[in-house]
Structure 1
Amino acid sequence: MTGRQLGLTIGISVIVLFAVFWVGATIWFFGDGNPDRLEDREWVADAEARCAEARDVLDRLPQAREAASTEERAGQIEASTAVLADMTADLAAFAPGGEDGELVGLWLRSWETYIGDRLAHAEALRAGEDRQFRVSVERGEGVDALLDAFADRNRMPSCGDPLDIG
């Protein structure tokens, strides 16, 4: 085998191994074996339905990004945040037990942090501070990303960040 053939063989082997690695990682991340995937799929379906109800209410509220003043924007954020707080209280009231309950508890604590961030933003707007909405960082990521990741992994698209503040 010549040097060129050896290099080609090694190169192809590296590419194949790289592809196998990413296929395996993708299956693990998106597959049913993901450690963040809830076993109680009935709870997941009920949670998605409750989150979808909240999204419908949010869709009917005025959007904060369309407000004419910071005072109006603060009021709109507070109104939409109240909807999200009710949603999370309902989700907590029928949270599953066991390991699923622990995961849901972590996720709901992230929701509590996110709700607090929203209310702090509304308070800053009322104080005349017109700034970009900022979220807390937990476990090395923005809390909004954590909400979305858990919702995505459990196929609850309505249960992620509503992206309504702008």
Structure 2
Amino acid sequence: MTGRRVAGVVGIAVVVLFAAFWIGATILLFGDENPDRLQDREWVAGAEARCAEARDALDRLPQARDAVDLVDRADQIETATDVLAQMTADLAVSTPSGDDGELLGLWLGSWDQYLGDRQVHAEALRAGEDRQFRVSVERGEGVDALLDAFADRNRMPSCGDPLDIG
């Protein structure tokens, strides 16, 4: 083997060993579970069912994008927001205790902020301001992204942002 070839093999071996070290260290230190994953999978299944029920109710409502004017659009957003508020209230009542309860408290807090953002948007529409829907930022991300990320991590696809405002 030439010196150049040996250096290449050694370089590749170093990269592979470095990657293996960090993968092993990450699994050892943090486990192979996501820290945002809820342990109470029964609660997760019930939450997904409740969220799917709310999504079905939203699907039956007139869509805000089909409104005839700003006031009609605001009315539709408020009606849909009421459905989501009831959904989150139901989820909050059944929240387990312990670590899962702490995680859910943060997620439900993001839902509260998101519902408030929807109400602010409806009020702006009523005041004649035709603008794009804006969400609050928490922990460096839009609350809608936080809702979706937590729902995705816990396999609750119906519990994310309903994307109904358009």
Question: Which bin holds the TM-score, normalised by the shorter protein?
Answer: 0.7 to 0.9
Return the letter of the residue paired with 2:55.
R
Deviation at 1:32, TM superposition (A): 6.1
Deviation at 1:63, TM superposition (A): 1.0
Match of 2:54 in 1: 54
| TM-score, structure 1 as length reference | 0.87
Match of 1:99 in 2: 99
User: What are the superposed Cα offsets for residues 28-76 of structure 1, whole Å, 9 maximum, x if unpaired?
Assistant: 99x9611111111111111111000000000011111122211111111
What CA distance in whole angstroms lies between the structure 1 residues aligned with 2:127 and 2:45?
A: 40
Q: Which has the larger radius of gyration?
A: 2
Alpha-carbon spacing, 1:147–1:7, altered in 2? closer, same or farther (3 Å):
same
Count of paired positions: 164
Return the letter of the residue paired with 1:105.
G
Runs ≥4 in structure 1, deviation > 4 angstroms? 15-22
What CA distance in whole angstroms lies between the structure 1 residues aligned with 2:81 and 2:113?
A: 12
What CA distance in whole angstroms lies between the structure 2 residues aligned with 1:113 and 1:94?
A: 20
Alpha-carbon spacing, 1:93–1:128, altered in 2? closer, same or farther (3 Å):
same
Match of 1:42 in 2: 42
Match of 1:90 in 2: 90
What CA distance in whole angstroms lies between the structure 2 residues aligned with 1:126 and 1:150?
A: 32
What CA distance in whole angstroms lies between the structure 2 residues aligned with 1:21 and 1:58?
A: 45
Counterpart secondary structure, 2:128: coil
| TM-score, structure 2 as length reference | 0.87
Deviation at 1:6, TM superposition (A): 1.7
Moved more, 63-72 or 130-139: 63-72
Match of 1:128 in 2: 128
Return the letter of the residue paired with 1:134.
R
Where does structure 2 lack aligned partners over 5 or more consecutive residues? none
Deviation at 1:11, TM superposition (A): 4.7
Match of 1:7 in 2: 8
Return the letter of the residue paired with 1:49.
A
Deviation at 1:4, TM superposition (A): 4.8
What CA distance in whole angstroms lies between the structure 2 residues aligned with 1:17 and 1:62?
A: 56
